[in-house]
Amino acid sequence: MKIIILLFASFSLLFSHAQKTTPEQFKQLKQVEAEIKNNSRTMIMADEALERYRADSFFTRGLVKALRIPNSFYYPFDSILTVSKIYSPDSVFRIFTWQLTKDLSSLRQKGAIQMRTDDGSLKLIPLIDNSDDTNSPVDSARSSKRWIGAIYYKVILKTFNNKNFYTLLGFDDNDEKSNKKWIEVMTFDTKGEPVFGGRFFQYPNDELKPPQPAFRFCLEYKKDGRARMNYDAEMDAIIFDHLISEDKTPAKKNTLIPDGDYEAFKWNSGRWVHVNKVFDYKADMQGVDPMLGNPPVPAPLPEKKEEQEPQKKKKGDPKPSPYRVGDKNKKKEDPRKKEEY
């Protein structure tokens, strides 16, 4: 079982609103956090499914208990490392998401949206994962009770016609053969209830992408394919790996792997519009997080060096050492070995 540990914290929001949590409230929140910390680890890491389910139940009840404490919206739960906790850029809500695994072929995402309230009281919207109960996860807008589950790692705020659109980037461990990355646009209706999905994506149909009309975007790929997807603020775009099938069967999503090129979505007039090719050269992917998919930084082109005539070897010169100076114990490096990314 692949263990997923995500650490998300919004320190700037915490510091700007910390004064709204009284010392007594902070003490209560810290105490409950300590009570649920072990369960938050057990529900992800325990070997037995029954133990994971039991810990998840205790954790969920403990989290709700903590959130009922007034002004809990501003408490970061920093020690809970197995649960994603991200705020919207305008601090209107924060969303908790995590994963509960039954076995290699069966898992479920869990989550809840906590809304900010003027009086510090709790408004909590549970998210019910409906992924296993549908054959068409991209074909319709959905309520919180019919949510397509994902572990969210980014919230992007966009506006159009004086309305806010919150784009959620998420990860889904899916099954033993493939992973998924999701782009989900969330809005709020007139009653303040979340609506997931809509006709927000414009892209040409191909064998790799969900058929149009798609109410959410899915990038499914081979389990160890390490496909990346994230928002680049400087480019103001969602950048993701271009995929190809390693055995020329693109209909089989578990054969799709990155080929080194990148596609993107740019926000334009209330829609995410597809950009076919982001870079004209391959980017340096060293240091990039394989799961969260930090956006690539283009590597500078190497300077062209002037060719120099090889110096003629003089009689009596010593033979060059296959070892580097001061490194006598290392074996000679195999020149056939290539750098991996």
The residues with which 86 forms a beta bridge, in sequence order, are: 95
Distance CA 151, CA 184 (A): 11
**pLDDT, tens digit (0-9, with 9 covering 90-100), for 309-326:** 555 555 555 554 443 434
Residue type (1 letter), 93? F
Model pTM greater than 0.85? no
Backbone angles phi, psi at 215, to 5 degrees: -90, -5
Residue 9 buriedness (CB in 10 A; 0-12 / 13-18 / 19+): middle
Over residues 174-193, the mean pLDDT reads: 96
Q: What distance in Å separates the CA atoms of residue 107 and residue 109, rounded to the nearest whole number?
A: 7
Mean pLDDT of the chain: 84
The residues, any chain, with a CB within 8 Å of residue 333's CB and separated by 6 or more, are none
Mean pLDDT, range 259-269, rounded to an integer: 96
Q: Which residue in 146, 166, 151, 33 sits closest to 100, CA to CA?
A: 151
Contact 56, 42 (CB under 8 A): no
Closest CA to 217 of 167, 161, 278, 143: 167
Single out the residue of 3, 29, 8 nearest to residue 18, CA to CA.
29
For the stretch 81-135, pLDDT in tens is 999 999 999 999 999 999 999 887 789 999 999 999 999 999 999 999 999 999 9
Q: Are 188 and 194 in contact (CB under 8 A)?
A: yes
